[in-house]
Structure 1
């Protein structure tokens, strides 16, 4: 099982190159084809509903400016991949919004790589904060979100014959699975199996298991560990508890607890089942997912 088509969103925001580096490393590991996509930000629905006039000279000038910006985002894509030893790739400039456009392309991909939303940054084709939610709910494709803190350089070695091998491994040497026994977390683990199979260590984090004993049973985590073991993947379970506050001892923030566990155990990837609603219901992410995406320090793999 492997990711054979990897989609990467490109823009002019910082750490654009980190996404390409990660896509390259995964492409080398999985023998994958990489598609780099940049968007103008002009929704395709404007064309479909005939709300824009292609022959309007003012619109044509504005559209060309937006297309040039998208081309700049792609400027280093091909050279960077070639230098890293990846030779199966393509690049596209599309007239669409990032969320809706990438969701459409991602329906024909195994994995989509995007950047963490930058607070207050709306230039360079940067996606809005709801971008990961729209991509997840509208594409059916798992998403790997790269944080601002991602490294910009790798240690991929390319020999004189042009054969490349990953030097500094892609994130996932020590993966943390956020297991809630929900269908979302189950889907995330299933979609992440190609990454998990190559990990050196895997930790399954279960938060506040005591609040839902019917879901986890007497030995929380045993079932998911056995499931992974049948795939040849060894994992251990860590039970965590959020702070209990107030007279009623209400549980605290699960997202913050997961990030704390990831930091304490030195994890370099978080696998998370994402909760969300359809675009017609305002594309809202669940509270845990929002917290993680806002404060993440390691890449986050999500499926919905």
Structure 2
């Protein structure tokens, strides 16, 4: 498989330029079509009304200002894509909230590139704090999460794969194959095997699977940690990797997100790009 269409969220957050630049580099590398997606932030159901009840703010005026913000974000996307030489790209806007809008755009892509949510002490009014969580759990596509700070000249040269034998981890590994095949170093970390599902030689089966796809893997086995999320990020730092691949665990009910501990920790504190699949 390969990435033929990549969608990147275009908004006004502080890491937008780094996020788009990373998505552009991947699109060039994979010869993929790059889509910049921006939403007005308005649920479709609101467009049927005339005003917000009791507020005196007319919906048409709010929509006009929201569309101006969208056009600014997409103009920024286009300028970056053109400057970096992305051969095939387009800007898409929609009158929808970011949750539904990004999940819809993801249906027609191989990979979605999102920005990490702001830290608790940061003010980023343009970025919804639970947006990455929601999209990862609901879009049905792998998501590449770009940290809130920093720029990333490379992604996928040195990769850490967090493996526990779960369906989510298997989907993440499969989704990352285009990057893993071109990696210089792939370390597959197995942290414990308390369930016994990984057999007598944990990691050997998935390493063989990857080898058949042309990926050279080094299997690293460690005891089961107290805090898997912190342990995974610590290994990523120890091996100086530029990409982490892992499954995302949790479920969403009416936007009440219930994430697994490792998923929550990595989403909140990762300082390197993370490819996740649910």
Question: Structure 2 matches for 1:38-57, cutoff 5 A?
Answer: 38-47=38-47, 50=48, 52-53=49-50
Query: Over residues 90-122 of structure 1, what are the superposed CA-to-partner deviations in whole Å (9 max), with x where a residue is unaligned?
Result: 112222211221001110110000000003556
Decide which of 241, 246, 249 is 1:267's aligned counterpart: 241
Select the structure of larger CA radius of gyration.
Answer: 1
- Report the Cα distance in structure 1 between the residues aligned to 2:91 and 2:141, rounded to whole angstroms: 19
Structure 2: distance between partners of 1:99 and 1:281: 9
Matches within 5 A, 1:1-304: 1-47=1-47, 50=48, 52-53=49-50, 58-120=58-120, 123=124, 125-128=126-129, 130-151=130-151, 168=153, 170-209=154-193, 211-212=194-195, 214-242=196-224, 251-280=225-254, 282-304=256-278
**C-alpha deviation, 1:302, in angstroms:** 0.5
* More moved, 280-289 vs 223-232: 280-289
- Preserved CA contact (<8 Å) 1:134 1:279: no
Q: Counterpart of 1:91 in 2: which secondary structure?
A: strand
2:157 and 2:242 in contact (8 A); partners too: yes
Per-residue Cα deviation, 1:226-271 (whole angstroms, up to 9, x for no partner): 01000110101112235xxxxxxxx511000000010011111000
SS of the residue corresponding to residue 101 of structure 2 reads helix
Deviates most, 178-187 or 92-101? 92-101
Structure 2 residues without counterparts, runs of 5 or longer: none
Aligned CA RMSD, in angstroms, stands at 2.0
Distance 2:232 2:244 in 1: 9
**Aligned partners of 1:303 and 1:150: how far apart in 2?**
23
State the TM-score, normalized to the length of structure 1: 0.85
What is the aligned residue count? 274
Match of residue 247 from structure 1: none
CA distance in 1, matches of 2:81, 2:273: 20
